[in-house]
């Protein structure tokens, strides 16, 4: 039965995503904040569908650690779930993502309207420079920046080196990085159809100061929290 429920949820997500991509494209004339509300409504709908169809909910700990102003959030990346949930949990964010996503018809075009930082992951130094330059522009415009420091989805129990671009941006901009750990991969695997029943735990850590520090020390502090807390959660 859970497999059938997972199939229904997957079908719903594909259909509603295509529909809302068209809605976002039609709202191109609206200010960014209004367009983001359209996307956030879509995200709430996906999370609600996951709860009602598959019995998969979530709880958030540490909301008080989200500071005022524009900063960077770094999330553990183990499933597709957090790519949706971050839109609901955090203030409007510009997403650092692989440029190939923008090439997807309709969905990629709609994503482009949300001012992402679309990088070529094979161009390492150029990608870091791009994140720093465009990230500072987005922060100055009042947006947060979302980065998955592992660069790709990582299986439960696995660990991967954290990229330096987010920490370098934080140092250049003098802002904070808010690390986020969760156990979504236990319920919504990075590959496969099945979505398990249960409650995903999201833990928002204390902000990491970046101003005046070495980027390598900053990313080590971020990694220590995310890896340590993820291990506690069993993710």
Q: Which pLDDT score is estimated for 5?
A: 93
The backbone region for 192, taken as left when phi is positive above 0, alpha when psi lies in -120 to 50, beta otherwise, is left
Q: Which pLDDT score is estimated for 33?
A: 92
Q: Which pLDDT score is estimated for 121?
A: 79
pLDDT per residue as tens, the chain (235 positions): 898 999 999 999 999 999 999 999 999 999 999 999 999 999 999 999 999 999 999 999 999 999 999 999 999 999 999 999 999 999 999 999 999 999 999 999 999 999 999 998 777 888 999 999 999 999 999 999 999 999 888 888 888 899 999 999 999 999 999 999 999 999 998 777 899 999 999 999 999 999 999 999 999 999 999 999 999 998 8
Q: Which pLDDT score is estimated for 88?
A: 97
Q: Check residue 96 and report its DSSP letter.
A: E
Q: Are 114 and 36 in contact (CB under 8 A)?
A: yes
Q: Which pLDDT score is estimated for 60?
A: 98
Residue 147 CA to residue 184 CA, distance in Å, equals 17
Residue 5 CA to residue 13 CA, distance in Å, equals 12
> Hey, what long-range contacts does 12-20 have (CB within 8 A, 24 or more apart)?
12/49, 12/53, 13/46, 13/49, 16/42, 16/45, 16/46, 16/49, 17/42, 17/107, 18/106, 18/107, 20/110
Name the one residue in this structure whose structure tokens are 């409007």.
Answer: 92
Q: Which pLDDT score is estimated for 91?
A: 96
CATH of the domain at 139: 3.40.1130
Q: Which pLDDT score is estimated for 143?
A: 97
Domain range spanning residue 14?
A: 2-233
Name the one residue in this structure whose structure tokens are 């209004």.
Answer: 34
Number of domains comprising the chain = 1
Query: Residue 63 has which token pair?
Result: 């909301």
- Provide the residue count of the chain: 235
Among residues 88, 124, 117, 87, which one has the least CA distance to residue 101?
Answer: 117
**pLDDT tens track for 20-79:** 999 999 999 999 999 999 999 999 999 999 999 999 999 999 999 999 999 999 999 999
Q: Are 205 and 72 in contact (CB under 8 A)?
A: no
Q: Which pLDDT score is estimated for 107?
A: 94
- What is the separation of C-alpha 102 from the centre of its chain, rounded to a whole number of angstroms? 16
């Amino acid at each position: 039965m859970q497999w059938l429920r997972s199939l229904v949820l997957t079908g719903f997500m594909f259909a509603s995503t295509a529909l809302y991509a068209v809605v976002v494209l039609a709202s191109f004339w609206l200010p960014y904040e209004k367009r983001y509300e359209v996307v956030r409504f879509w995200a709430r709908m996906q999370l609600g569908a996951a709860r009602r169809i598959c019995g998969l909910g979530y709880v958030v700990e540490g909301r008080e650690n989200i500071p005022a102003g524009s900063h960077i959030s770094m999330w553990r990346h183990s499933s597709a779930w957090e790519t949706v949930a971050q839109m609901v949990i955090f203030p409007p964010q510009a997403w650092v993502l692989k440029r190939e996503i923008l090439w997807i018809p309709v969905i990629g075009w709609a994503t482009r309207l949300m001012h992402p930082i679309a990088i070529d992951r094979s161009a390492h130094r150029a990608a870091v420079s791009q994140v720093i330059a465009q990230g500072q522009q987005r922060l100055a415009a009042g947006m947060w920046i979302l980065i998955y420091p592992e660069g790709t989805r990582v299986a439960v129990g696995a660990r991967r080196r954290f990229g330096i671009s987010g920490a370098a941006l934080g140092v250049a901009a003098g802002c904070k990085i808010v690390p986020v750990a969760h156990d979504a991969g236990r319920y919504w695997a990075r590959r496969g159809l099945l979505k398990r029943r249960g409650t995903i735990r999201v833990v928002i850590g204390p902000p990491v100061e970046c101003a005046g520090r070495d980027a390598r020390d900053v990313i080590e502090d971020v990694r220590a929290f995310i890896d340590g807390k993820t291990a506690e959660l069993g993710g």
